[in-house]
């Protein structure tokens, strides 16, 4: 399985987490806060790793020339914006009890929306540039990317299951 197929699976996992994060606001406050915290604990570090893995794959100068700079610049700009939102959410998570939970809704839903748009940009603009003869990732880079994405998927799944069990107990 090539790196892009695994990256696609990684995106699907993120999509599940995003859907769940958006759904938080349908719960009663106590349950919503617990779910929000657990999702952020899974999602925020996983997204940081997502960006690091993609830096590895796409920021090599030869790749940039190969794939063309325009979509990569867009993706990098999105990563910068998402990193700023991640930081903002991390500050909220660290003092979550001090916040009126409902007032977090615009920040959280905006974050989810940006994430969806970002995944769409990667899948529709960036990745197809590499799915052509003569433009594929070098085998060593492909293997390294596959290994790192596999590890990330495994860690997301483990934490996701643990958080699902925890939240499930309360219902």
Which residue, 41, 23, 48, 4, is CA-closest to 112?
A: 23
Query: What minimum distance in Å lies between the beta carbon of 122 and Fe ion?
Result: 5
Residue with Cβ nearer Fe ion (105 or 120): 120
| Euclidean distance between CA atoms 22 and 38, whole angstroms | 13
Residue with Cβ nearer Fe ion (35 or 122): 122
Around Cβ 69, how many Cβ atoms within 10 Å? Answer: 10
Residue with Cβ nearer Fe ion (72 or 104): 72
Distances from the Cα of 73 to the Cαs of 64, 66, 134, in angstroms? Answer: 9, 14, 22
Residue with Cβ nearer Fe ion (6 or 40): 6
Residue with Cβ nearer Fe ion (35 or 54): 54
Q: What is the DSSP-derived secondary structure letter of residue 60? A: S
Query: What minimum distance in Å lies between the beta carbon of 65 and Fe ion?
Result: 20
The footprint of Fe ion (CB under 5 A) covers 54, 122
Query: What minimum distance in Å lies between the beta carbon of 46 and Fe ion?
Result: 11
| Euclidean distance between CA atoms 116 and 72, whole angstroms | 17
144 Cβ neighbours under 8 A, 6+ residues apart: 56
Greatest alpha-carbon pair distance for the chain in Å reads 54
Query: What minimum distance in Å lies between the beta carbon of 171 and Fe ion?
Result: 32
Query: What minimum distance in Å lies between the beta carbon of 76 and Fe ion?
Result: 9
């Amino acid at each position: 399985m090539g790196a892009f197929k695994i990256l696609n699976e990684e995106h699907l996992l993120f999509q599940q987490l995003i859907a769940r994060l958006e759904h938080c606001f349908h719960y009663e406050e106590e349950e919503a806060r617990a779910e929000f915290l657990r999702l952020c604990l899974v999602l925020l570090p996983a997204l940081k790793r997502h960006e690091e893995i993609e830096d590895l794959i796409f920021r090599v100068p030869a790749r940039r020339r190969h794939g063309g700079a325009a979509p990569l610049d867009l993706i990098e700009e999105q990563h910068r914006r998402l990193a700023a939102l991640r930081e903002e959410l991390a500050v909220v998570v660290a003092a979550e009890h001090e916040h009126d939970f409902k007032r977090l809704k615009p920040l959280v839903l905006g974050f989810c929306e940006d994430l969806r748009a970002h995944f769409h940009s990667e899948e529709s603009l960036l990745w197809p540039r590499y799915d052509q003869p003569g433009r594929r990732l070098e085998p060593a880079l492909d293997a390294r990317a596959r290994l790192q994405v596999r590890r990330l998927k495994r860690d997301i799944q483990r934490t996701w299951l643990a958080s699902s069990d925890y939240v499930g107990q309360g219902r």
